[in-house]
Amino acid sequence: MSETDAKIPSGASESVPVSIPEELKDTVTLTTLDKAIELLSSAVDPVANWARSNSVWPLTFGTSCCAIEMMCVGMSAFDISRFGSEVFRATPRQADLIITAGTITRKMAPALVTLYEQLPEPKYVIAMGACTVTGGMFNDSYSVVQGVDRLIPVDVYLPGCPPRPEGILDALLKLQQKIRTESLAERRKRAYRQRAVRYVDYDTGRPVEDLVAEARMETAEALAEATGYALDHQVRKV
C-alpha cells in the first residue's frame, strides 16, 4: 500500500509522479492531502470502477478485416450492448476504448497515435487480431508496424486472424475485470504522457523535437571534438 501511495504527487499541479528511492521509503511521511486522496479513492474507486467498467464506449476504428468482426459483435446476434459497450462513438472525445481492428501501416501510425492522444483519460486499448499483436502475416513487411504496442500502450491482446466475435466479448470482459480491480494510484502510475500540441517544422515537415534533439547531438559532438572530452554517455541521453 505504501509503495503505491508514495508515488502520488503531493500537489494537484504536479503531473509527474515523484519516484522515491528504495532506502528512503520508510522515512517518507504522507501529507494530509495524500491521506485524503487515499481515503477518498478507496471509498469512490469501487463505485466509479463499477460504473466505468459497465460503460466502456469503443471508438469506431477499423482498418481492415477485423473491423467486420467488430461490426458483427455490435449487431444483435452477439450484441455487445449486453456488456454496456453498444455505443460506438465516432469521435475520440467521447470514447474510452480503442479496438485496433486491423493492420496498422506506417502511414496510419501517426493518425492512430493522434486518435489515442485525443481520448480522455482513463483510456484503454484492445489490440485485436494478429496484425496488431505482432505484425502477423505481414512479418517483415516494409510498410506494416510490427505490433501496435510499439505505438501506444495496450491493455488486452486479442490474437486471431480475425478473432471470432466471442473473442472480442471475452477481451472486453477481461478489460472490465482490469478496470474493476485498478485504483487511482495505479492508473496515475501508468498514465500516458501526451503532448497537447505537436510542433512541426514548416520547411521539412519534421517534428520540432527531432530537430532540437539533432541540434543538441551536433553541439555535443562539436564540444567533444573541441575539448577532447568523451561525452559518450551524455550524447546518448540526449
Partner 1 sequence: MSEGHEPEKAEAKDELKAGPFGQFLEEHGIPSRRLPDSCGVETIELDGKHLEAAMKRLRNSHEIALNFLVSVAGVDSPETYDSVYHLWSYSNLNELVVKVRVPKASVPEDRLPLVPSLAPFWPAANWHERETYDLVGIRYVGHPYLRRILNPWDWEGHPLRRDYKQLVDALNDKNQFSMR
Bridge partners (DSSP) of residue 100 are 127
Count of residues in contact with partner 1, rule CB under 8 A:
14
C-beta closer to partner 1: residue 31 or 143: 143
Q: Which of 36, 175, 21 is nearest to 98 (CA)?
A: 175
Quote the least distance from Cβ 55 to partner 1, whole Å. 33
Grid cell in block for residue 27? 522515512
Return the exposure string of 71-96: e unless at least 16 CB atoms fall within 10 Å of the residue's CB, then b. eebbeeebebeebbbeebbeebeebb
C-beta closer to partner 1: residue 88 or 116: 116
Quote the least distance from Cβ 210 to partner 1, whole Å. 12
The single residue among 2, 15, 94, 143 that binds partner 1, judged by CB under 8 A, is 143
The single residue among 150, 189, 190, 198 that binds partner 1, judged by CB under 8 A, is 150
Distance from C-alpha of 226 to C-alpha of 236, rounded to nearest angstrom: 18
Positions in 2-31 near partner 1 (CB under 8 A): none
205 binds partner 1 (CB under 8 A): yes
C-beta closer to partner 1: residue 110 or 120: 110
Positions in 77-136 near partner 1 (CB under 8 A): 106-107, 109, 134-135
- Assign 3-class secondary structure to 65-134: CHHHHHHHHHCCCCCHHHHCCCCCECCHHHCCEEEEECCCECCCHHHHHHHHHHCCCCCEEEEECHHHHH
Q: Residue numbers of the site for partner 1 (CB under 8 A)?
A: 106-107, 109, 134-135, 139-140, 142-143, 145-146, 150-151, 205
